[in-house]
Amino acid sequence: MRHRERHRSDRIGWLRAAVLGANDGIVSTASLVVGVAAAETGREAVLVAGIAGLVAGALSMAAGEYVSVSSQADTEEADLNRERQELIDNPEAEEDELTAIYIGRGLTPELARSVAQQLGEHDALKAHARDELGLTDELAARPLQAALASAATFAVGAAVPILAVMLAPASGLVAVVAGVTLACLIALGAMAARVGGAPMLVGAARVTIWGVLAMVATALVGRLFGTVVG
């Protein structure tokens, strides 16, 4: 029975998009809600602001991630096309490149040449994509997947402060939203760090600190402009 190892790098594509989306959804929507609530507006206005932030943010995340990852995919495809043409035009030079790469990794010249020849006979383009360009199927750019993951996780994250607004008492709305948001950010940061193999405390601290700064800043803005308008 073949043993297949699972590496954390296999998760990097979807993990990055998911964590970024959820984190942005929680932080941006919670900050928006806290800022509007700090201006001493009614619960309805706070809810409208939160829902509008959810919709706009999810679409913006999807569009931004799609454009960004599409650019990466275009670059990867261009590199592959160039490599494909070079293999047609000058296969000997391409074999020499692979041989030099393997020698640099510690193989003897004879073994490096043999490996380069055998890989070239099996799938030369794949060998060059992996060892010369650093491109693998696991880490390949997938624009639609990244866009959907970002939009979905942003919406899920943004729903947290909105639900908190709906359930919190009017007198303690800001405190409840801030508390729920911080708890979720800590959990999200720790979970992402756990999945990615990083220290959980560090992961939780990263997202929590920035979340606190964002909510404090928008609360000050809401209080300042609410007082001025009022």
Residue 28 parent element (H or E): helix 12-38
Which amino acid does the sequence have at 123? D
Q: Which one has a higher pLDDT value, 213 or 3?
A: 213
Strand, coil or helix: 205? helix
Mean pLDDT for 41-55 is 90
Length of the chain: 230
pLDDT tens string 76-105? 888 888 888 888 888 888 888 888 888 988
Least confidently predicted of 13-17, 52-56, 117-121: 13-17
Say what the pLDDT of residue 118 is: 87
| For the chain, percent of residues with pLDDT exceeding 90 | 20
Q: What is the pLDDT of residues 148-195, one digit of tens each?
A: 888 898 999 999 999 999 988 888 888 899 899 999 888 888 877 777
Average pLDDT, integer, range 214-226: 85
Give pLDDT, residue 73. 82
pLDDT higher than 90, residue 52: yes
pLDDT of residue 6 exceeding 70 = no
77 DSSP 8-state letter: H
pLDDT score, position 51: 94
Break the chain into its structural domains and give their ranges: 10-223
Distance CA 192, CA 173 (A): 28
- Average pLDDT of the chain is 82
Please give the model's pTM, rounded to 2 decimal places: 0.68
pLDDT per position as a tens digit, 128-141: 888 777 777 666 67
pLDDT of residue 11 exceeding 80, the answer is no
For residue 7, pLDDT over 60 is answered with no
- Answer whether residue 3 shows pLDDT above 50: no
Cβ atoms of 103 and 112 within 8 Å: the answer is: yes
Return the ∠ at Cα 62 (arms to 139 and 190), rounded to 5°.
65
Quick count: other Cβ atoms within 10 Å of Cβ 147? 23
Residue 227 has pLDDT above 60, yes or no: no
Q: For residue 40, what is the DSSP state?
A: T
Torsion, CA 58, CA 59, CA 65, CA 66, rounded to 10: 140
Half-sphere exposure of 168 (CA within 13 A, CB side): 26
Element counts in the chain: helices (H) and strands (E): 7, 0
CA distances from 46 to 43, 217, 221, 225 (A): 5, 17, 15, 15
Backbone angles phi, psi at 3, to 5 degrees: -95, 125
